[in-house]
Structure 1
Amino acid sequence: MRKVLVVGAGQSGLQLALMLQENGYDVTVMSARTPEEIRAGRVMSTQAMFHTSLQHERDHGLNLWEAEAVRIEGLGVSVAGPDGGRVLDWFGRLDHYGQSVDQRVKMAGWAELFEQRGGKLLIHGVTTADLDSLAALYDLVVVAAGKGELVGLFDRVPERSPFTSPQRALSLAYVHGLAPRPEHPDSPGVRFNIAPGVGELFVIPAYTLSGNCDILFFEGIPGGPLDCWADQPGPDEHLRRLLDLVRQYIPWEYERCADVELTDARAALAGGYTPVVRHPVGELPSGGFVLGMADVVVANDPITGQGSNNAAKCAVSYLDSILERGEAPFDREWMTTTFERYWDYAQHVTQWTNALLGPPPEHVLRILGVAQANETVARRFVNGFDDPTDYQNWFMDPAKTADYLATV
């Protein structure tokens, strides 16, 4: 039985560990926190997972909260005009619903499931020195911890990483009491609100420790009015400030916020990080190699909501590569090939996400405008969040956009 060590207990690491366990591998997961500490901690992210990623979870019996979690039926786009009104406002339907489960709920539950199924869960922060001494005990070591010292094992790839600083100041709050959108009260959906020159507000239906909720998530252009979290306010001040920004820049969403309150005292978060692609193979001081996965090697800005989706798809791609390897060694060449197989998909997500971080070009504005009156265009744009590879066929290139819009 081949032995695999997974360092990190997030979406990608735990999903891979559970799937390998299902296939008869001897798997150990190292986590810095116990399930109880994860549940009691601060929210870690936003997430909106779409059909393909959710189906991977279903295929392996990991969809533990599907019956309880609110269904995301579509995605709406609104663009603010200079008078505070909306110059664009439309809603496109997903072919299959999405869902968002607070990672405190999911990761704690998956860690417990992993143990229940016979896996070894070690609670210990891992340094490079620790990993160096542990690696020889396993056939394969996968690093799925996207923060901390271990990320330093994986060098940045300049030709795949156009940014050297964060492109958005991020702030969010999980809330109860947000009123339904009057335009589609019975069809919850992600709302993508754009304030040109200022940033974006996403409103995401989600499921948290206390049941269904909504996530208010600002992406602020650095140095602008939404970049105001350096003082790290407490939760109540965080929510007050966030709502004031909603009132000022996205007033149509503020109308829904009269009864909003945080879901819990740790339901607010602010920060930012630089989008980056890293080399997938890390070399330990002893000469051993470890394989990076998901956010460790491809970290995109969350503006396109692809973080958890990428993690889920990376786990499935790595699983296939591991199973196909059989008893052959997991050497450096195999690790590089395994990552490039995943990158064949992830490069499209990265290109699309990086494009959305800049001012929208004329052909993209035309797409958003046509989508307001044409359900076919709106639906194609929205369903690209499930399969971002499709954007290469019509969204990313002005000539392809013109050709496509001429047909609809």
Structure 2
Amino acid sequence: MTSSGIGVVGTGISGLTLALRLRQLGVDVTLYTEKTADQMRGGRLPNTVARMWRTRERERTMGCEHFAVEGSFATTAKISLKGAPPLEFRGVLDEPFHAVDFRLLLPALLDDYTSRGGRLVVTEPSPGAAEVEKWSAAHELIVVAAGRRSVAELFPRDETRSPHVAPQRSLLAGLYTGVTLAGFSYNVSPGCGEIFQMPMWTREGLAAGMMVEAVPGGPLEPVTRLSYRDDPRGFVRTLLDTLTEHAPRIAERVDPGSFAPLGPDDLLQGAVTPVVRTPVAKLSTGRIALAVGDAWITNDPVTGQGANLGSHCAWVAAEAIAQGGPYDETFAMSVAEEMWKMAGPVTEWANAFLQPPPEHVLRLLIGAATDQYLADHFVNMFADPIYAWSILSDPEKTESLLTSRP
């Protein structure tokens, strides 16, 4: 079989960004998807994520800016650390965070790809390594950006970069009505978990996107296990009680009379085990498979970096692929090394934030509560993870930030 172009498996933000950018750069590409655009639009909520300015800039560069709706941008971020008294501050974002339901965004990107002549192959659900091996024969390189079976079978866990063997949080993500929208809200209940909330553009218009991250076995966890379908009133009552106890600043903006999920399909419950996988697989066809996005790294969403890292890595891979082959193991490993320059700090930062803050980070948070410069500086770190981790991982650099000014 004559090989041509690049195969991309998966239509999350990584796979779609990679395929669209390759098309823009003149590279022949075939995209393999488990779902059509219409199936994506009609599915369950896949996540609640904020896309930051570099991700949005990449989308604009590709001519793929969608749903830039007034009200769906967070221009401020408020950090609240529960205590007596609470430690709180609000920072102004240099560039707003944007949140849109991926059941809208991803099919829009897929439509962009097909409208520009991109080849699309709709596959059976959850293809495995055998299917990827088969597809690889038709391509010079195959990039795996999603897929439960294929990921587990092709890319084993990298033990040196994966300190966790079990989920560190139990998760409840959802879209809600009855919440006054007011920027991005990051709430920490020490020893219990975190609750995030932000405005999102959804299939029903503007709504509140919210994520509960509960420490397993702690007092936040029960709400992540409740069934809304079985007991809608009990679910809403328990969630509101949870917010009042663990995220009072969100609870203050809730109207109890209208607070509820948009619908049963607008909730996502589960847990993820943070893991880094080996990024390159040798296939029986003689080809190489390269992992990007969630196929390579799954971090806990505690620092909000998943979609942004996936977009970044896809862009890095596209730029390298466009330079030409041979697309051998040496090429794939060099791409992985380049992606790790961002992925490494993101991963270490996410794992660190699953633990209580060390003394120097706590000092920074205390400083931000009384100094607007530090407050603004801290919240803008979320859009610059390499810089953020360079500060947060180094007590001396943190101290320098606390005592110096531009």
SS at match of 2:382: coil
Whether 1:88 aligns to 2:87 is yes
Deviates more, 1:238-247 or 1:396-405: 238-247
Q: By how many angstroms is 1:280 displaced?
A: 0.6
Q: Deviations over 1:171-227 (max 9, x none)?
A: 1210122124xxxxxxx4211111111111101211111212111211101111222
Q: Deviations over 1:133-180 (max 9, x none)?
A: 111111111101053343331011111111111111111210122124
Residue in 1 aligned with 2:132?
A: 131
Residue in 1 aligned with 2:250?
A: 253
Q: By how many angstroms is 1:49 displaced?
A: 1.1
Residue in 1 aligned with 2:379?
A: 382
Q: Deviations over 1:10-65 (max 9, x none)?
A: 00101110111122222211111111111111100121111111111111111121
Residue in 1 aligned with 2:202?
A: 208
Q: Deviations over 1:282-304 (max 9, x none)?
A: 23344532110011112111000
Residue in 2 aligned with 1:184?
A: none
Query: Which one-letter code corresponds to 1:234 in the other structure?
Result: R
Contact kept? 2:146, 2:295, Cα under 8 Å: yes
Whether 1:353 aligns to 2:350 is yes
Residue in 2 aligned with 1:114?
A: 113
Q: By how many angstroms is 1:240 displaced?
A: 4.2
Deviates more, 1:106-115 or 1:398-407: 398-407
- Following superposition of structure 1 onto structure 2, how do residues 287-366 of structure 1 map, counting pairs within 5 Å? 287-324=286-323, 326=324, 328-366=325-363
- Following superposition of structure 1 onto structure 2, how do residues 43-62 of structure 1 map, counting pairs within 5 Å? 43-62=45-64
Query: Which one-letter code corresponds to 2:141 in the other structure?
Result: L
Distance 1:151 1:190 in 2: 34
Residue in 2 aligned with 1:21?
A: 23
Distance 2:42 2:22 in 1: 28
- Following superposition of structure 1 onto structure 2, how do residues 91-102 of structure 1 map, counting pairs within 5 Å? 91-102=90-101
Q: By how many angstroms is 1:261 displaced?
A: 2.6
Query: Which one-letter code corresponds to 2:176 in the other structure?
Result: V
Whether 1:225 aligns to 2:224 is no
Whether 1:154 aligns to 2:155 is yes
Query: Which one-letter code corresponds to 1:52 in the other structure?
Result: R
The percentage of counterpart residues that share the same residue type is 35
| TM-score, length-scaled by structure 2 | 0.93
Distance 1:90 1:36 in 2: 42
Q: By how many angstroms is 1:242 displaced?
A: 2.6
| TM-score, length-scaled by structure 1 | 0.92
Query: Which one-letter code corresponds to 2:229 in the other structure?
Result: G
SS at match of 1:101: coil
Distance 2:59 2:227 in 1: 35
Residue in 2 aligned with 1:265?
A: 264
Large movers: runs of 4+ above 6 Å: none
Distance 2:241 2:287 in 1: 52
Distance 2:304 2:128 in 1: 30
Contact kept? 1:145, 1:151, Cα under 8 Å: no
Q: By how many angstroms is 1:247 displaced?
A: 2.4
- 5+ residue gaps, structure 1, are 181-187
Distance 1:62 1:152 in 2: 33
Q: Deviations over 1:337-364 (max 9, x none)?
A: 1011010111111111111110111111
Residue in 1 aligned with 2:142?
A: 141
Query: Which one-letter code corresponds to 2:215 in the other structure?
Result: I
- 5+ residue gaps, structure 2, are none
Residue in 1 aligned with 2:401?
A: 404
Distance 1:251 1:400 in 2: 32
Distance 2:109 2:276 in 1: 27
Could you say if the C-alpha distance between residues 392 and 191 of structure 1 is closer, same or farther in structure 2, counting changes exceeding 3 Å? same
Residue in 2 aligned with 1:185?
A: none
SS at match of 1:358: coil
Distance 1:113 1:273 in 2: 30
Distance 1:76 1:88 in 2: 11
